Amino acid sequence: MSSPTHAWWRIIVTALALTTFPPLASPQASTSLRGTVSDAQGAVIPGAVISLQNLDNGASRQTVTNGTGEFAFPQLPPGNYQVRVEKPGFSTVTKTGVTLRVNTPATFDLTLEVGKSEEVVNVMSEVT
């Protein structure tokens, strides 16, 4: 049988351990970005390269649109981003001012214009 003093020591040691060593798998604040790339007539554009750069820390990621023109970036840290879309035969589009918020998945659809791939269009906008 344990003495009352022994029980108190176990409570104190447990409390200290919990406050000193936080859980190793604590959840990180994150969000996601997804969307569709299409042309001016609304036709989806598969195979477009989407580059995403976090303007707060410089980290970057890249993906390619699927057969239905869709792309997704899961588990992104919240922050300010630049999105760049490239596809041969279309003008490159770069959008800055894309702000992603904690636990608020964002949808960002992009429209490419037929043109030279060297042509770059810069747009400032917000995510909805």
Percent of the chain whose predicted confidence (pLDDT) is above 70? 69
What pTM does this model have?
A: 0.69
pLDDT in the model for residue 25: 41
Quote the pLDDT of residue 115: 82
Closest CA to 94 of 103, 85, 102: 85
Comparison of pLDDT for 28 and 49, the residue scoring more = 49
User: Which of 59, 114, 110, 60 has its CA nearest to residue 85?
Assistant: 110
Using CB atoms within 10 Å of the CB of residue 71, give its burial: 0 to 12 exposed, 13 to 18 middle, 19+ buried: buried
pLDDT given at position 23? 47
SS (H, E, C) 33-96: EEEEEEECCCCECCCCEEEEEECCCCCEEEEECCCCCEEEEEEECCEEEEEEEECCCECEEEEE
Higher pLDDT, 1 or 34: 34
- pLDDT of 78 higher than 60: yes
Q: Alpha helices, DSSP H only, in 2-121?
A: 4-20
What is the dihedral angle through the alpha carbons of 54, 42, 104, 58, rounded to the nearest 10 degrees? 0
Higher-pLDDT residue of 16, 50: 50
